Structure formats: structure tokens, C-alpha cells
Amino acid sequence: MKAVKMSEGIYRVGANIKNGDMFEGMWPIPDGVSLNCYVVAGDKTALIDMVDDWNDAPGQIREQLNSISMGIEDFDYLILNHMEPDHIGWLQEFVTINPKVQIVTTTKGVDLVKAFCGITKNVMAVKSGDTLDLGNGKILSFTEVPNVHWPETMVTYEVNSGILFSCDAFGSYGEVNEAVFDDELSQEQNDFYDRESLRYYANIIATFSIFVLKAIDKLAGLNIKMIAPSHGIVWRENPGVIVERYKQYAEFMNGKGLPEITLIWGSMYGYTEKVVNSVVKGIRSESVPVHVHRVPEENASWALADAWKSAGLVFGMPTYEYKMFPPIAGVVDVFEDKRVWNKKVFRFGSFGWSGGAQKDFLEKTKKLKWEFVEPLEWQGEADEEAHKIAFERGAELARMIKNGD
């Protein structure tokens, strides 16, 4: 691939990670993920964001820089918007090649550059409102957006082109190839990035939704003509689309979920599994969409994405040694960490010699601001009456979601 021109003197260079690894060591990326960097060339040159030495990302970046007759040694500034290792893992090697480069980051970023890379020389701190004039009409302006999604995070805005370099904000999973801009994508590709921006948000950003809304407000005064994140496509035709999408994602935490239900279930010997279909039929009898996920067979990444946007949740699980079935307990822990708040919830499941899952479930979820439908539990095999109740409770939850109760 070659560097892609975004505006006069501004280019996107990127690497695709598609080796089967997991993002952050836990989130599947079957369609890969891109690591995007950006060249801004005035009288002096800056590289905005960087990469880890992951799946030969540095080699991919260097190849694309060569296509515009540039090398690592040519940069005067390296702008580090965010210090997570997927963005700075190759920093020590970069500085070895280009020891004169001036690193630009926030005050908290300075500390993290030292902590992760042991680098203290030529590191400059900036704050909101500071600018860096590269000459020849290229002016970078910096805005701190703490906790989107680390405390040191900032975004960089090129004043004359109107390009916002947003790092992890407004990003998505999925590799990026020749079609770099949103207006170059087919409808199918747009739908893909729609889904993967939600899953990326739910997996990576969701915990910090309050700060996402604050950051969007803080950036509202900028004349943004293009949004260039560090993961995913560049938004050129209508950058407001991804901003509004992220705003909606953040508002899901406040009880503004879509009129849909996500059902997550796990079963030891099939006794809970046999009732799943009765619940689903009850939900669908009210014409409410339902997304069904089974764990541990499926990574929680996808269940989290659907749960984040859904107004209603259903958990199907047996009691396991007086507590929740451990794979479901793990999902609940993730939901607590990611602040899957303000949902309407129904839980069902079997037990053997003793119950206990419901008590454990209520204890583990008491901070999540959930409103509960009466649970359904039975011993051993579910009888006809249990299936009937499962249908009715599924329909009851669906009516609550549909009517906004």
C-alpha cells in the first residue's frame, strides 16, 4: 500500500493487524484492525500517533512513508495523543532511528513515555489550547480529552484543513485497505464499520462514556471537516456521522437503549438450554428483536456489543455450587466493568440439589441500576408450566421494552 493523501501536505499511513491476535489481549478481531498514523508536512514535519511492533506494523508504515519519499529520520515532531502500547510500542526504536525528534504529548503523557519507554529527552508537554506551527500553513492545535480512554489522552486538530486526529475516539475494528475514506465504501462495507464501531466502543470505550460526552461537547466549537482516528476508516464525506454515533453509544449507558433485547445463556447439561427457545418465542411474540449469545462457546465481546445497545437483557444460567454458572458470572463481571447500566432484566435457570444463582446474581448486579422482571427457577427438568412461564416472562419484558416502561 501507499500513503494516502488527505489534504495538501497531509497523508494517512497505516498498518493492518490480521494475524489472529486479540485486541488488548482479550477482544477477538477476526477481520483485523488498522493502526493509523498521519503525516503533516509544513516547513517542518510531524507524525501523529505511532504503532506497536505488531504484525510488522513498523515495516508497513515505513513502506508507505517511502511512497512519499519520507523516512522515520525525516520527522521533526512525533505527536503522541495516547500512550497505550498499541500506539507507542515501537517508540524506543523510532527514537533510536531519529534521536532529534521532539515528542509532543500531555503532562500525564510525559510521565507515561518515561514509564513505558524510559525516554525523558526531547519530550514536550502541551495542554488544551496550545498550538504548534509547522510553517507553510500547517498549524496543530491540541485539546485534552482525559479518559477517552486513558487519563493522558488528547486530540490534535490541524487548523487550516479542519482535520481532527482523534486517536482512539471515533475508531472501530476492521482492517483498512485501499478504501480509506467513508465515501469510498460500499453500503456493505459501511454496514460492517457501523457494527464494528459499536463493538469497538462497547469493548474499549464504554466504561468512559461520561467522558466521551464531555469530549464531544468540548470539540463542538471546532470546524471539523474530516475525522482521522487511529483505528478504522477516515470520515471525510460526513464526519458528523461518527460523532453522532459515538454520542448515541455513550447515551446507551443512561438508559437510552434501543428497543431490543440481548439474551446471554449458558448450560451445563442442557436443562437450562431447553428453556431458551420458550423465552425467545415470548420475546418475539411482541415483535421485539432479540440477539442470542451462548457462553463460553462465544467470546463475550459480541454479547457486550449487543447488550450495550439493547434496552433489555435476559440471562439464562443454572446454579453452580450455590452461585451463578461461572461463564455467565464472567460476563456479568465484564458488564459491571463496562458499566452496562439502566437495563430491564429477566433471569431464568435450573438448579440441582440447591439454588443460589439468583441470590448471587442480584448481589453481583446491585450497582448496575437494573430493573428486574420476576425470575424463573426450577429444579431438574423444566415442566410444561415452566416453559409457559418462560414464554410469558419473555413477552412481559418485551412489552416493557416496546412501551418504554
Going by pLDDT thresholds of 50, 70 and 90, the confidence category of residue 212 is very high
| 234 DSSP β-pair partners | 181
Q: Tell me if 283 sits within 8 A of 391, measured CB to CB.
A: no
SS3 label, residue 161: coil
Going by pLDDT thresholds of 50, 70 and 90, the confidence category of residue 184 is very high
**Domain CATH for 239:** 3.60.15.10
Secondary structure element (H or E) that encloses residue 252, with its range: helix 240-252
Interacting residues of 385 by C-beta distance below 8 A, sequence separation 6+ = none
| Final residue belonging to a domain, choices 222, 252, 282 | 252
Q: Tell me if 370 sits within 8 A of 340, measured CB to CB.
A: no
288 and 232 share one domain: no
Say yes or no to pLDDT of 87 above 90: yes
> Does 405 map to a domain?
no
157 and 143 share one domain: yes
**Domain CATH for 345:** 3.40.50.360
- Give residue 19's pLDDT: 85
Going by pLDDT thresholds of 50, 70 and 90, the confidence category of residue 403 is confident
Residue 299 one-letter amino acid: N
Q: How many residues does the chain have?
A: 405
Number of domains composing the chain: 2
Interacting residues of 87 by C-beta distance below 8 A, sequence separation 6+ = 35, 49, 50, 51, 52, 80, 81, 167, 230
Map grid coordinates 458470572 to a residue.
Answer: 329
| Final residue belonging to a domain, choices 237, 252, 267 | 252
- C-alpha distance from residue 316 to each of 28, 332, 345, 401 (Å): 23, 12, 11, 18
Average pLDDT, the chain: 97
- Give residue 404's pLDDT: 80
Residue 214 one-letter amino acid: K
Cell of 31: 477481520
Least Cα distance to 318 among 234, 246, 376, 383 occurs for 376
- Give residue 10's pLDDT: 98
Going by pLDDT thresholds of 50, 70 and 90, the confidence category of residue 396 is very high
Going by pLDDT thresholds of 50, 70 and 90, the confidence category of residue 377 is very high
> Does 294 map to a domain?
yes
Neighbours of 259 (CB within 10 A): 15
Cα-based angle 178, 183, 185 (whole degrees, multiple of 5):
50
284 and 351 share one domain: yes
- C-alpha distance from residue 271 to each of 274, 317, 330, 367 (Å): 6, 9, 20, 30
162 and 200 share one domain: yes
| Final residue belonging to a domain, choices 252, 286, 311 | 252
220 and 319 share one domain: no
Going by pLDDT thresholds of 50, 70 and 90, the confidence category of residue 339 is very high
Would the CA dihedral through 361, 362, 366, 368 be positive or negative? positive
212 and 85 share one domain: yes
pLDDT one-digit tens code per residue, 1-56: 899 999 999 999 999 999 889 999 999 999 999 999 999 999 999 999 999 999 99
Q: What is the mean pLDDT of residues 260-279?
A: 98
233 and 282 share one domain: no
Say yes or no to pLDDT of 356 above 80: yes
Percentage, residues of the chain above pLDDT 90: 98
Domain range holding 33?
A: 4-252
297 and 321 share one domain: yes
Q: Tell me if 237 sits within 8 A of 225, measured CB to CB.
A: no
- C-alpha distance from residue 233 to each of 32, 86, 189, 239, 368 (Å): 13, 17, 10, 11, 33
pLDDT one-digit tens code per residue, 284-318: 999 999 999 999 999 999 999 999 999 999 999 99
Say yes or no to pLDDT of 405 above 80: no
229 and 264 share one domain: no
238 and 285 share one domain: no
- Give residue 35's pLDDT: 97
Q: Tell me if 84 sits within 8 A of 119, measured CB to CB.
A: no
206 and 270 share one domain: no
207 and 157 share one domain: yes
